[in-house]
Chain A
Amino acid sequence: MAQESEVASIPAADFGFAQGHEEEAEREYANYSYVREIFNRFMDNKGAFVSLVMIVLIIVLAIVAPMLSPYKFDEVNSTRSNLPPRVPGLEQVGLFDGTKDGVNVYAEKGISEEYHYFGTDSLGRDIWVRVWYGTRISLLISLIAVVIDIFIGVVYGLISGYFGGRVDIVMQRITEILSSIPQLVIVTILLVALGPGLGNIVIALAITGWIDMSRIVRAQMLKLKNMEFVLAARTLGASWREIIFKEVMPNCLAQIIVTFMFSIPNAIFFEAFLAFVGLGVPAPISSLGTMINDGYKSAMVYPYMVVGPVVVLGLLMLGFNLFADGLRDAIEPNQS
C-alpha cells in the first residue's frame, strides 16, 4: 500500500517522546479555601473592586460627615437660605466658591467664614449634612427591610421546598398570588393604610420583598434535598429542623448573599419612589428620596439642591448593583 511505504520512509530521528505535559502535571498550585477563591475572583474584577471602595466610602461618610460638621441636619436658619455650595480649597480654583451669577453670596451676607459644601436649602439647612444624614436613613431602611426579607424568604423557601407535596402546593399558590400584585401598588397601599413613617416603610418593604428570595432558596432546596449528604443526615437520625437549617441552608449561603446584595439597591430605589409618591419619611427626618423630592421642583434654579442627593443615591445604587454583579460572577464563574 502506498500509505504504508510513505510512513516507512519517514526517518526515525523525526520522532521523540512527548514530555511537555509531565512537567505541567507536577507543578504545584496554591491551595485556596472556597471563600478565599471567591474573594480573589471578586478582587480581580475591576468593576467589583471599584464598587466595594464606593460603598465603603459612602458608608464611612454617612457615619462621619454629620458628626464632623458644625451644622445639624434639622437646624433651620432663615438668614442662610439658598446658599450655593462652597468648599475650602476648591474655591481658589473657581469651583464651588459660593458664587451665584458672579456674586459671592457668602461675602454679601457677611458670613465669609462659613462653608456649606453642598450649599443650603430654602430653610437654610446645610445640604451636605442632610445628604449624609439622609444616606444613613436610606441605608437603614433598606438594610432592615432586606434583612427581614431574607429571614422570611429563606425560611419560607426552605420549608416549602423541603416538605414538598401539599405543603409546597399551598405555599407556592400563596406566593404566586402575592407576586401577581405589583410591588409598587401593594407598598403604596400598605403605607396609605398604615400611614407614612420610618417603621411603616420598613414593614411595607419587608412584607413585599421576600418572594424572590423564597423562590431562589426553594429551587436550591429542591436541588439539594435528594443528595447523599441529606440522606446521610437523615440516616443518622437528624430531625427535619436539623436537615433544613444545618445541612441544606449553609449550602444555599452563596445564593442568599447574592440575592441579599441585589435586594439592597432595589429597596433604596423603593424608598426614593415612596418619597416621590409623597409617602416618604416625615420631616424633619431626611432621606435621599425625600431630599430629591423636595429639591427637584427647584432643580432648574438651584440645581445644587438636588445634585448632592441624586449623585449619592446614584452612586449607592450603582455601587450595590456592581457589587452584587461581581459577587455573583465570583461565586458562579461559569454563569457569566
Chain B
Amino acid sequence: MGRYIAKRLAVAALTVFIILFVLFMLLNFMPGSPFNNEEKMTPEQIATLKAAYGLDKPVIERFFIYVGNMLRGDFGVSYNIQNNMPIATMVGSRLKVTLGLGLEAGILGAIVGNLLGILAALKRHTPVDTVATVIAVLGVSLPNFVFALLLSYFFGYRLKLFPLTFNPADPIRSSVLPVIALSMFTLASMERYTRSELVSIMDSDYMMLAESKGLPRRKLIMRHALRNALISLITVLAPLLVNLMSGSIVIEKIFSIPGLGTLYITAIQSNDYNVVLATSFIYSVMFVIAMLLVDLAYGLIDPRVRLAGQKG
C-alpha cells in the first residue's frame, strides 16, 4: 500500500506541474493588456511597468520564476481587481468560503440522497419509489442554476424566508439556499446509485441465504445489504466532485457569495491575468487532490487496483 500511495502522489505532483505549465502558456496568449489604460501610455511607461512586474523576460524564465515564488506561497499580485493586492491574501478567505459551501452541499446531498435511495429500494414499486426516482431524474438532468433560481424566487423573494444574496452578517441563514441548490446533483446521483445497488444486492444469492437462515430484516439490511452498497459508492464520487466544483462557481455568482468562483469570474471579465492563473490553478489542484483521494480510497477497498498499480 505504501508504494502505491507514493506512486500516486508522484503522478499527482507531476500532473499539477504540467497543468501549471499548460495554464501559464495558454494565458500567455491571452488577448488584451494587463494594464488599464495602455493606449494612453507612452512606450517607455509600458516598458517600465512591464519591467516592474517582470513581464519583459522570456516566457520560460517567467514560468520558473513563477513556480519558485508560488512554492514560497507568493502567487503574484492582482493587476486590475485590487491594484497590487497580493493574490494569496485575496484567495485565502475566499477559498475557505468555497470549500465550506462544497463540503456542506456534498454532505447534505450524500445523507439525503442515501436515505432516499434506501427508502426507494426498500419500498420498491410504491409511490415512495416513484417520487424518489422523479427527484433523481430531475436532479441529475437539470443544471444547478435552475434549482438556485427556483429556490431564490420562492423561498427568497416570495416567502422571504432566506436572503436572496449572501449576507456576511448572517452567514448561516444565507447559505441555506445555495447549499440546497448545489447539493441537488449529489443528492440525485447518490439516490440513483444507492437504489440500484441495493436492489441488485437484495436480489442476490447471499441475501437469500442470509434470509433463509432466519436473520431479522433489520440486521439483514443494515449488516448485509447497506454495507456492500455503500462500499461501491466510491465509484460515483469523482463525477460528483467535478459537479460540485463547476456548480459552486455558478451558485456563488447567483447568490453573490464572496468565494473563489466569484473571484474567478471577475478575474476573467477584467482580464486579470495573474488572478485567472492562480484561481484556475487552485481549482485544478483541488480537482487533482480529490481524484487522488478517490483513487487511494479505491486502492484501500479493492486490492486489485493497487496490485495492478504495482506491476505497471
Contact = CB atoms under 8 A, between A and B. Distances in A.
A195 interface: yes
Contacts of B140: 321
Contact of A180 (B15, B29, B254): B15
B242 A318 contact: no
B155 to A, nearest CB: 12
Interface stretch (A22-30, A104-112, A269-277): A269-277
Interface in B111-140: 137-138, 140
Nearest to B277: A189
A77 B120 CA distance: 52
B35 to A, nearest CB: 17
Interface stretch (A136-144, A219-227, A306-314): A306-314
Lowest 3 A-B CB distances belong to which pairs? Answer: A321-B141, A318-B141, A182-B287
Contact of A322 (B137, B246, B269, B284): B137
Interface in B249-301: 249-250, 253-254, 264-265, 268-269, 276, 280, 283-284, 287-288, 291
Contacts of A181: 19, 22, 284, 287
Interface string B135-166: 00110111101100100110011000000100
A192 B22 CA distance: 14
A310 B149 contact: yes
B31 interface: yes
B254 A296 contact: yes
A128 to B, nearest CB: 19
Given A180-B291, A185-B283, A277 B141 contact: no
B265 A278 contact: yes
A186 B287 CA distance: 12
Contact of B249 (A277, A306, A313, A322): A277
B284 A182 contact: yes
Contacts of A193: 26-27, 29-31
Interface string A113-136: 000000000000000000000000
Given A183-B242, A273-B246, A188 B15 contact: no
A299 interface: yes
A183 B239 CA distance: 11
Contacts of B280: 185, 188-189
Given A189-B26, A277-B264, A317 B143 contact: yes
Interface in B10-57: 15, 18-19, 22-23, 26-27, 29-31
Interface of B: 15, 18-19, 22-23, 26-27, 29-31, 137-138, 140-143, 145-146, 149, 152-153, 156-157, 164, 196, 242, 245-246, 249-250, 253-254, 264-265, 268-269, 276, 280, 283-284, 287-288, 291
24 contacts: A177-B18, A180-B288, A182-B245, A182-B287, A183-B246, A185-B280, A188-B264, A189-B26, A189-B27, A193-B26, A193-B27, A273-B250, A276-B250, A276-B265, A278-B269, A296-B149, A299-B153, A300-B152, A300-B153, A300-B157, A313-B143, A314-B141, A318-B142, A321-B137
A303 interface: yes
Interface in A62-100: none
Most buried by A among B137, B146, B276, B287: B146
A281 interface: no
Interface string A186-209: 101110110100000000000000
B276 A192 contact: yes
Interface residues of A, number: 37
A177 B141 CA distance: 28
Contact of B283 (A184, A276, A318): A184
Contacts of A269: 143
Tell me the interface secondary structure of chain B in the complex: helix
A71 B156 CA distance: 34
Nearest to A316: B141
A256 to B, nearest CB: 20
Given A296-B149, A321-B141, 11 more contacts: A181-B19, A184-B283, A192-B27, A193-B26, A195-B31, A272-B143, A273-B246, A296-B254, A303-B153, A317-B143, A336-B196
A161 interface: no
A40 to B, nearest CB: 23
A182 B242 contact: yes
Given A277-B265, A299-B153, A189 B141 contact: no
Contacts of A192: 26-27, 30, 268, 276
A249 interface: no
Contacts of A322: 137, 141
Interface string A37-68: 00000000001000000000000000000000
Nearest to A276: B250
